[in-house]
């Protein structure tokens, strides 16, 4: 088993006064889970992410594009936001940590470096363009809808800079679009100009798209083993075929978090990897969990847990104070990596200083693992729900497995919370107000609503 979830510290037996999830609550939830499982797995046609791990045609099309660009570029610049950036960022951080970018092209196996612009802060974009040689840069423009304002604005700026650097015609050879096969502005441009384009299948939502070309192409370009990524995810799907919570890890995760929230008020759900390469996985998870589950039920009731990213051991000196003594409204899910015990030997020095001498002979791998176990135990001792997800190693297989685990858990949780996990109506109003202020055609109604809002009141300004 490459992935395991120890949830002892979520359960009443491990927490003071038995104030955790009871065995009966878990048993009761198994019926609801069986229904959620049946519902989700019956929707393969609608939920394309379920079959991405075995979509060989999409994988091969993606690898072919990666192959066509081989040797032509030193850098890849990815433009995207939300699900069109967080997955690639998480994969890059996990499997191509920052030091990789400083290696020579040979040491990188000839693979280009990956830069991601996932915001429209002009300073970041200017600084990124200033340091890239655009004549040796491939630009990936990723947008499921093909029209997201931030990504389109980035595209216009970068396309202009590319045209200046290499000429209008050659600029097309520096672009790859990843978008819906039919709709959206990117698709229109691609058709008109013959720009190489990979599809995000229409039935794959942005935040569930990391195992589509959205994550696969950037990963393949920087030499990540895409087949291993998909194999890890496929393994999760095989194990999740059964609705038995004893073997369905994503189901168990979803059920535990749902009970913790709805029956125990633990609505803030922390994901805390004890591994630097997994820092950005927590940010990817935040979008998945928040945008999928935080919404109105059909009867108008607002529901949904609040995901919170953290990283160990760093946050032991920051947020853990809050987790230990703040409101009893949290769960913490740690992610640990096995087999690090011998990594990072701590040398013997200052043997006469007890505050340092006890570290001699230990390793950093031991230290980080012990600190995780200590924190889990300390939280449990104070009635704080926590669970530990362990992986064997940080590699493409385990990243694929982790990502599919969380994606599937999100789909199950959507059914348990009785919401549609695959839309995001709550982001529309803000977008429409922005369109109205930018003068986009068709936003007259949003303009009227915006104009009718109370304006800043000088009495409430300091």
Q: Which residue has the tokens 């992935």?
A: 3
390 burial (CB, 10 Å; 0-12 / 13-18 / 19+) is middle
At residue 181, what are phi and psi to the nearest 5 degrees? -70, -20
SS3 content of the chain, % helix, strand, coil (to 5): 55, 15, 30
CB 33 within 8 A of CB 245: yes
Residue among 235, 291, 315, 395 that touches ligand F6P (CB under 6 A) = 291
Q: Which is nearer to ligand F6P, 294 or 383 (CB)?
A: 294
Residue among 9, 55, 148, 432 that touches ligand F6P (CB under 6 A) = 148
Check residue 53 for interaction with ligand F6P (CB under 6 A). Answer: no
Q: Which is nearer to ligand F6P, 381 or 427 (CB)?
A: 427
CB 170 within 8 A of CB 209: no
Cis peptide before 151 (omega within 30 of 0): no
Please give the Cα distance from 210 to 403 (Å, whole number).
Answer: 8
Residue among 20, 48, 53, 206 that touches ligand F6P (CB under 6 A) = 206
Residue among 137, 257, 375, 424 that touches ligand F6P (CB under 6 A) = 424
Check residue 292 for interaction with ligand F6P (CB under 6 A). Answer: no
CB 431 within 8 A of CB 32: no
CB 86 within 8 A of CB 214: no
Catalytic: which of 144, 291, 366, 398? Answer: 291
Please give the Cα distance from 449 to 430 (Å, whole number).
Answer: 11
Check residue 144 for interaction with ligand F6P (CB under 6 A). Answer: yes
H-helix or E-strand spanning residue 336 = strand 330-337
Catalytic: which of 17, 182, 317, 455? Answer: 317
Q: Which is nearer to ligand F6P, 15 or 411 (CB)?
A: 411
Catalytic: which of 41, 227, 362, 431? Answer: 431
Please give the Cα distance from 299 to 266 (Å, whole number).
Answer: 23
The angle, 0 to 180 degrees and rounded to 10, between the axes of the packed helices 249-264 and 23-41 is 120
Smallest separation, CB 145 to ligand F6P (Å): 3
CB 115 within 8 A of CB 129: no
Smallest separation, CB 206 to ligand F6P (Å): 3
Q: How many residues bind ligand F6P (CB under 6 A)?
A: 14
Binding track, positions 72-111, relative to ligand F6P; x by CB under 6 A: ---------xxxx---------------------------
Check residue 172 for interaction with ligand F6P (CB under 6 A). Answer: no
Alpha helices in 265-353 (DSSP H): 279-293, 320-325
Q: Which is nearer to ligand F6P, 81 or 275 (CB)?
A: 81
Please give the Cα distance from 320 to 326 (Å, whole number).
Answer: 9
Of residues 325 through 364, those in contact with ligand F6P by CB under 6 A are none
Cα atoms in the 13 Å half-sphere on the side-chain side of 201: 22
Smallest separation, CB 200 to ligand F6P (Å): 7
Please give the Cα distance from 133 to 101 (Å, whole number).
Answer: 15
Find the part of the chain contacting ligand F6P (CB under 6 A) among 125-133, 142-150, 304-312, 340-348. Answer: 142-150
Residue among 187, 207, 295, 330 that touches ligand F6P (CB under 6 A) = 207
Question: Is 338 known to be catalytic?
Answer: no
Please give the Cα distance from 428 to 77 (Å, whole number).
Answer: 28
Smallest separation, CB 151 to ligand F6P (Å): 5
Q: Which is nearer to ligand F6P, 170 or 427 (CB)?
A: 427
Check residue 414 for interaction with ligand F6P (CB under 6 A). Answer: no
Question: Is 291 known to be catalytic?
Answer: yes
Find the part of the chain contacting ligand F6P (CB under 6 A) among 13-21, 138-146, 276-284, 312-320. Answer: 138-146
Q: Which residue has the tokens 């069109």?
A: 84
Greatest pairwise CA separation for the chain in angstroms: 75
Smallest separation, CB 82 to ligand F6P (Å): 3
At residue 21, what are phi and psi to the nearest 5 degrees? -70, 135
Tokens found for residue 138: 């491939």
Smallest separation, CB 212 to ligand F6P (Å): 11
Check residue 140 for interaction with ligand F6P (CB under 6 A). Answer: no
Q: Which is nearer to ligand F6P, 126 or 427 (CB)?
A: 427
- Residues in contact with ligand F6P by the rule CB under 6 A: 81-84, 143-145, 148, 151, 206-207, 291, 424, 427
Catalytic machinery residues: 291, 317, 431
């Amino acid at each position: 088993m490459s992935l395991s979830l120890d949830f002892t510290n979520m359960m009443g037996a491990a927490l003071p006064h038995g104030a955790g999830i009871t065995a009966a609550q878990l048993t009761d939830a198994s019926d609801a889970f069986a229904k959620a499982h049946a519902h989700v797995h019956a929707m393969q046609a609608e939920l394309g992410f379920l079959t991405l791990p075995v979509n060989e045609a999409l994988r091969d099309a993606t690898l072919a594009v990666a192959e066509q660009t081989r040797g032509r570029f030193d850098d890849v610049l990815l433009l995207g936001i939300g699900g069109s950036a967080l997955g690639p960022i998480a994969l890059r951080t996990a499997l191509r940590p920052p030091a990789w970018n400083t290696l020579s092209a040979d040491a990188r196996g000839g693979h280009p470096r990956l830069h991601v612009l996932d915001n429209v802060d002009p300073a970041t974009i200017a600084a990124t363009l200033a340091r890239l040689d655009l004549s040796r840069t491939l630009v990936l423009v990723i947008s499921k809808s093909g029209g997201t304002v931030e990504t389109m604005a980035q595209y216009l700026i970068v396309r202009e800079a590319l045209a200046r650097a290499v000429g209008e015609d050659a600029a097309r050879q520096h672009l790859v679009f990843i978008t819906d096969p039919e709709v959206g502005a990117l698709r229109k441009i691609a058709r008109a100009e013959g720009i190489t384009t990979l599809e995000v299948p229409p039935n794959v939502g942005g935040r569930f798209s990391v195992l589509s070309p959205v994550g696969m192409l950037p990963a393949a370009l920087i030499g990540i083993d895409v087949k291993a990524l998909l194999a890890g995810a496929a393994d999760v799907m095989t194990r999740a075929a059964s609705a038995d919570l004893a073997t369905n890890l994503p189901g168990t995760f979803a059920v535990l978090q749902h009970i913790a929230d709805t029956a125990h008020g633990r609505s803030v759900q922390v994901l805390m990897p004890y591994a630097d390469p997994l820092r950005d996985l927590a940010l990817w998870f935040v979008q998945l969990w928040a945008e999928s589950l935080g919404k109105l039920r059909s009867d108008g009731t607002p529901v949904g847990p609040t995901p919170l990213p953290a990283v160990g051991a760093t946050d032991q000196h920051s947020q853990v104070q809050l987790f230990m003594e703040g409101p009893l409204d949290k769960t913490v899910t740690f992610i640990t990596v096995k087999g690090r015990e011998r990594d990072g030997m701590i040398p013997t020095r200052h043997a006469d200083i007890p505050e340092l001498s006890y570290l001699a002979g230990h390793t950093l791998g031991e230290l980080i693992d012990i600190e995780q176990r200590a924190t889990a135990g300390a939280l449990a001792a104070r009635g704080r729900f926590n669970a530990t997800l362990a992986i064997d190693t940080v590699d493409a297989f385990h990243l694929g497995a982790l990502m599919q685990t969380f994606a599937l858990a999100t789909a199950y949780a959507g059914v348990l919370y009785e919401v549609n996990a695959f839309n995001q109506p709550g982001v529309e109003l803000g977008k429409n107000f922005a369109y109205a202020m930018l003068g986009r055609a068709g936003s007259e109604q949003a303009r009227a609503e915006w104009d009718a809002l109370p304006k800043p009141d000088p009495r409430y300004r300091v």
